[in-house]
Chain A
Amino acid sequence: MVNVVWILLLLGGFLTAMFNGRVEAVTQAALDSAKYAVELCFGLIGIYALWLGLMKVAEKSGLVRAISGKIAPVLKFLFPGVPAKSPAMGAITMNIIANMLGLGNAATPLGISAMKELQRLNRDRDSASDAMCMFLVINTSCVQLIPATVIAVRSAAGSADPTEIIGTTLIATLCSAATGIAAVFILKRFY
């Protein structure tokens, strides 16, 4: 999918440039852009190092496990078909907390084991269960407490206040998660 978009952008750009007589400007833009990408990357290194250092401490200290008891009632509502004490619910809980904390690398393996546990509870092995769909939608509309990547890119791009978007992001992500969850509750009646 990204493949198609990428080639369309490049071909579209170069063909348009030939019609517009902007070939030289476009060539210059291609070279400048490649150079700027490297400059930006250097700006990202420090913030990524800071953030992933903190994440490592969060991971090793067992923070994820400590929070999991607190969100059990919410998950019971979202996953009515999954027994509360099952391994599936355990993996779902850990994955969601890891995502909220921005522990992307830790979240993916937890998510895959949650999927495997949900597949055990699934009646039709080829078709996604409602619990799987809910789990996936919560994952993709991720309520993330601190959008670390965005802050890093803003800071590297010279923003005067890179973290000013944390509050707005939290509100937007809550809207997006609520919409996703509502969509699952409604759509599951029709499929």
Chain B
Amino acid sequence: MIQVTQWISVLAIPVFIIFVLGYGAVKGVPVYETFVEGAGEGIRTAFHILPYLVAMFVAIGVFRASGAMDFLIRILSPVTNLAGIPPEILPLAMMRPMSGSASAGMLAELFRTYGPDTFIGRSASTMMGSTETVFYTISVYFGSVGIKKTRYVLAAGLLADLAGLLASVAICGLIFGR
């Protein structure tokens, strides 16, 4: 299974690019012009998240440099140790359901401190990619049709997030080693 997971990682992007461009060409889409149009949107998107990156980097940078982060991690570690979760990624896990841009900023800040190619960096990457922003999605989708009673949906969404966190740590430990 470890081998298969690695193959998926290596092949996913080349296969995806060949498939998308090949399919587009067969369907008669002007592939180059369409790509360029989308790439322009990509550049705007990168600049669009810059204010979020600055806001989150400064807040977490301050929190970390003051020693408050170490204190928080020390308080949380007895709980996280039970599940084998590195306490360093817990702040990101708590931000993930709230905001995509803010958690992307936190992820980048984690990479800056611990490096992307460490157990912490890989687990954080995997967790970040495996879940979405529950609170945001609820407010946009239920808000659009005026649903007031959301019933059990938040509980189910947060359970899914928790499963994603536990699975990320377990699978990264298995494949990359801790």
Contacts and interface: CB of A to CB of B under 8 A. Distances in A.
Contacts of B128: 147, 149-150
Interface residues of B, number: 111
Contact of A26 (B35, B38, B65): B65
Nearest to A7: B59
B129 A147 contact: yes
Among B12, B97, B133, B138, chain A packs the most CB atoms within 10 A around the CB of: B12
Given A142-B132, A163-B12, A13 B160 contact: no
B79 interface: no
Nearest to B150: A128
A150 B107 contact: yes
A8 to B, nearest CB: 9
Among B35, B112, B164, chain A packs the most CB atoms within 10 A around the CB of: B164
B29 A108 contact: no
Contact of B142 (A28, A132, A161): A132
Contacts of B108: 37, 40, 153, 156-157
Contacts of B68: 12-13, 16
Contacts of A165: 9, 122, 125-126, 129, 172
B144 A112 contact: yes
B5 A171 contact: yes
A63 B20 contact: yes
A41 interface: yes
Q: Is the contact region of chain A dominated by helix, strand, or loop, or is it mixed?
A: helix
A34 B112 CA distance: 13
A176 B122 CA distance: 17
B60 A9 contact: yes
Contacts of A38: 50, 53-54
B24 A57 contact: yes
B58 A132 contact: no
Contacts of A158: 116
A66 B172 CA distance: 34
Interface string A153-185: 110111111111111111111011111100110
Interface of B: 4-10, 12-13, 16-17, 20-21, 23-24, 27, 29, 31, 34-43, 45-47, 49-50, 53-68, 71, 94-95, 97-100, 102, 104-105, 107-109, 111-112, 115-117, 121-122, 125-135, 137-138, 140-142, 144-153, 155-157, 159-164, 166-168, 171-172, 175-176
20 contacts: A6-B56, A15-B66, A17-B62, A26-B65, A44-B46, A45-B46, A49-B43, A50-B39, A56-B35, A57-B20, A57-B35, A66-B23, A124-B149, A125-B146, A126-B147, A128-B142, A137-B156, A165-B122, A167-B12, A173-B131
